[in-house]
Structure 1
Amino acid sequence: MTGTWIDLIVNIIIILLILFGSFVTLSATIGIIRFPDIYTRLHAATKASTLGVASILIAAFLYLYVKEDIVSGKLLLGIIFIMATAPVSAHMIGRAAHNQGIKPVTKNRHDAFEAAKSKING
């Protein structure tokens, strides 16, 4: 009797993780299409899709671990690599865009990175 309740709770958690991951990934896709400049598109592409893909992979890991009694190292490595590489790559792309002189669409934003570079360079 208790096994069925545990299975039901695990199934609900897996379903919620997949739905949440799908929603966040869909919103990231819409953000990439709708946002005006590279900086906001990077935000949508990395922050939301990292969270979405990670939650879907966590749901797959839970399914395999609970239902099939398999510990998938590939899924764990996928989660770790996505959480580690996507923010770093977005930072590097954003810095490269800034170094190329690409300005954000909003004009009233203070550029702290440019101010720090000008202080260092004199």
Structure 2
Amino acid sequence: MGTGLLTSEAADRIVTTCRTAIGDSLRSVTYFTRDDYEQVYLRSDLERDADLSTFIGHEWRGFKTAQTAYEGSELGDYNYTIRVFDNGFLLRVTSQSEGVFVTTDGLTMNDFDAVATAINAFLEERDVN
């Protein structure tokens, strides 16, 4: 599935990466840049009715704000964000030019760390190419 933002291979790879790390708890995967986005996966039992453009705007601004706010802090470098909701979680992993947010059912912290590490590797590899 080519998205225009991602090649078919890249879209398949990010979905496979997330499915491998999260399994059946994966709800959706959305790839985004500062100017555009593409939902590359949505679990079949969910409706395609989320306002993704609002999510993307918020997540992009949130990344920039968090990165700037914590820069040089004793906490170390900013890695990723987890948002907790009544019906699931949102994990955001972002580089300087692109990002991925993943929605899930319940996961452990180790699960979140594993998928964030895998998504970071995907984004870093894209920056090199």
Larger radius of gyration: 1
Instruction: Give the number of the structure whose residues are more often helix, by fraction.
Output: 1
Indicate whether the TM-score tops 0.5. no
Instruction: Give the number of the structure whose residues are more often strand, by fraction.
Output: 2
If the length of structure 1 is used for normalisation, what is the TM-score? 0.29
